[in-house]
Each structure stands twice: as structure tokens, then as C-alpha cells.
Amino acid sequence: METTTSSQTIRSTFNLLKLTFGIVPIVAGTDKFTNLLTNWENYINPSLAHMLPFAPHAFMMIVGLIEIIAGLIVLTRPAIGGFIVAAWLTLIALTLLAGGNYLDVAVRDLVMAIGAFSMARISKIV
């Protein structure tokens, strides 16, 4: 009986993580086109912004498209998508840390990356 309960708990936890790491990147990615949640261009490391071959807004739209695709991959192939989202969040955190701004967001993104990584690992056993 305990095995069934443990299995159900793991499955429900996995499903919650899958929905979270699927929907949140889709919402954040979509918002890169509207800036309703925040002005995403503010999060670009200023030293990197000068190296972009196009406007920061165009860059954020590309980022948004990547995030939407990553979220869709999580929803359809969580074992792969979880690792993609974990890597993406880690890169964002490292960029924020390098810029010395939004350190709270960088820490949050690292914690979320651990969650996405964990979800990808759990997907192999559910």
C-alpha cells in the first residue's frame, strides 16, 4: 500500500513540476512581446547589450520565442525539456550575476533551474 501512495505522490509532484516548467516559460516568453509583466530589456547585462547586432527589444523577442519553445518541449517531452529549461535558467542567472544586477532574480533562477533539473530526472521514473 505504501508503494502505491509513494508512487502517486511522486506522479502528482512530477505533474505539478511539469505544468509549472511548461507554462511559466511560455507565459514569460509571450510577455517578451508585450512587456505586461515587466520591461524585460532592463534585465539585459549592459555590457552584453552593446555587443548585440540588433536592438535589445528584438533580442528579447528572440529570447521569448526560445522560452515558448522550451516550455512546449517540457509539456511534450519533459525529460528533455527539463534539462533545456534548467540550462536556460542557469545561463540567465549567470548573466545576471556577471552584470551585478538583479541578484535576487539570479538566485531565484538558479533555484528554479534545480527544480527543472529535478523534474527532468523524475520524469525517467514516472
What's 124's DSSP letter? Answer: T
* Chain-centroid distance, C-alpha 99: 19
How much is the pLDDT for 118? 97
How much is the pLDDT for 104? 97
**What does pTM read for this prediction?**
0.91
Among candidate residues 86, 70, 72, the one with its CA nearest the CA of residue 122 = 86
The rounded distance, in Å, linking the Cα atoms of 56 and 50 is: 9
Using N-to-C axis directions, what is the helix angle for 2-31 and 103-123, rounded to 10°?
Answer: 130
Using N-to-C axis directions, what is the helix angle for 103-123 and 78-99, rounded to 10°?
Answer: 160
How much is the pLDDT for 49? 86
How much is the pLDDT for 2? 54
How much is the pLDDT for 20? 98
Which regions of the chain are under pLDDT 70?
Answer: 1-3
How much is the pLDDT for 36? 97
| pLDDT single digits (tens) 2-32 | 567 899 999 999 999 999 999 999 999 999 9
